[in-house]
Amino acid sequence: MLLNQKTDAPAGTEGLVADTTTQGFVKDVIEESRKHPVLVDFWAPWCGPCKTLGPVIEKLVRVAKGKVKLVKMNIDEHPAIPGQLGIQSIPAVFAFVNGQPVDGFVGALPEDQVKAFIDRLIGPVGSDTAELIKAAEETLKSGAAAKAAELFAHILAGEPENLQALAGLARCHIAASNLEPARATLALVPKDKENDPAVSAARAALGLAEQAKSVGDVAPLEAKLAADPLDHQARFDLALALNARGNRLTALDHLIEIVKRDRKWNDDGARKQLVQFFEAWGGNDEATIEGRRRLSSLLFA
């Protein structure tokens, strides 16, 4: 059971910092870390650096407002757990996630380094969900799909049905060409929320990735098109392949070219594909804005 809670904690932060014992370690740390990350601060009353680190890490945990908890263990009174973990110097801080130690540090680090340590676990400390979503989206846009996936996963750890985070995580999998995990992530969306714009965009992106997988590499398609510029199917397939590789504007060029040359080709297939591109890219994407402008000028000229 968690012991000796601080009584002067800011409103809404009670229970985020507590002491534990050898007997309580499994419940307070192992089981609790299956819900959210838990930091364990191993300290002793005679340790000067422990007195420096303690207030810093407690402050940052409270700023995180429930995204991480801090459990403190006095190694003089409870030496068994530190011994099992091989701790030879204090202060020592271990981060537990899903019942396992995943990171740690030794010594009284300055506040900015402690904050960076916590950020790696939960995203930027003090950020609300909207800010974390924005950071994850920007990270994904930069091409760092794995890092973006970590940020979306942190959001989902606290909000399992957050639609933007579910859709974002699915798009991270798609960017990494991991289509099966993307499908599994989208399957977690509640049935009554499947028409959410973020979810629809992720499903459209998954559909495009599946299409691109079926058309193959770019080079053979480029060769076919060079041999016959009127081969609309080759141009169409090339657009899919280019989009899958992140070359949105060139993919757009090819589909616009088909619409320009033969608007009715394949039952208006090029225009319909452009609409799917726009849905997957998002309304504010520069390629979507450019594509809609160019398509409108053709259709309503």
How confident is the model over 3-15, as pLDDT tens digits?
333 334 444 446 7
Q: In this model, does residue 60 exceed pLDDT 70? A: yes
- Model confidence over 163-209: pLDDT tens digits? 999 999 999 999 998 999 999 999 999 888 888 889 999 999 998 98
Q: In this model, does residue 158 exceed pLDDT 50? A: yes
The mean predicted confidence, pLDDT, of the chain is 87
Contact 150, 181 (CB under 8 A): no
- Model confidence over 124-155: pLDDT tens digits? 555 577 888 888 899 998 888 988 888 888 78
Residue scoring higher pLDDT (92 or 130): 92
Q: In this model, does residue 247 exceed pLDDT 80? A: yes
**Single-letter residue type at 83:** G
Residue 172 among the catalytic residues: no
User: Please, what are the domains in the chain?
Assistant: 17-122 (3.40.30.10), 129-213 (1.25.40.10), 216-275+284-299 (1.25.40)
- Model confidence over 278-295: pLDDT tens digits? 988 887 788 999 999 999
The lowest-confidence range among 69-78, 103-112, 159-168, 208-217 is 208-217
∠ CA(227), CA(228), CA(230), 5° rounding?
Answer: 165
Instruction: Exactly one of 17, 47, 87, 202 is catalytic; name it.
Output: 47
Instruction: Exactly one of 18, 40, 50, 166 is catalytic; name it.
Output: 50
Q: In this model, does residue 253 exceed pLDDT 90? A: yes
pLDDT at 80: 92
β-strand 69-74 against 100-106: which pairing, if any? unpaired
- The total number of residues shown for the chain amounts to 301
Average pLDDT estimate for 71-93: 91
Q: Residue 253: is it exposed, middle or buried by C-beta count within 10 angstroms (0-12/13-18/19+)?
A: middle
Question: For residue 3, which phi and psi values (nearest 5 degrees)?
Answer: -120, 160
pLDDT at 194: 86
Q: In this model, does residue 70 exceed pLDDT 50? A: yes
Q: Residue 89: is it exposed, middle or buried by C-beta count within 10 angstroms (0-12/13-18/19+)?
A: exposed
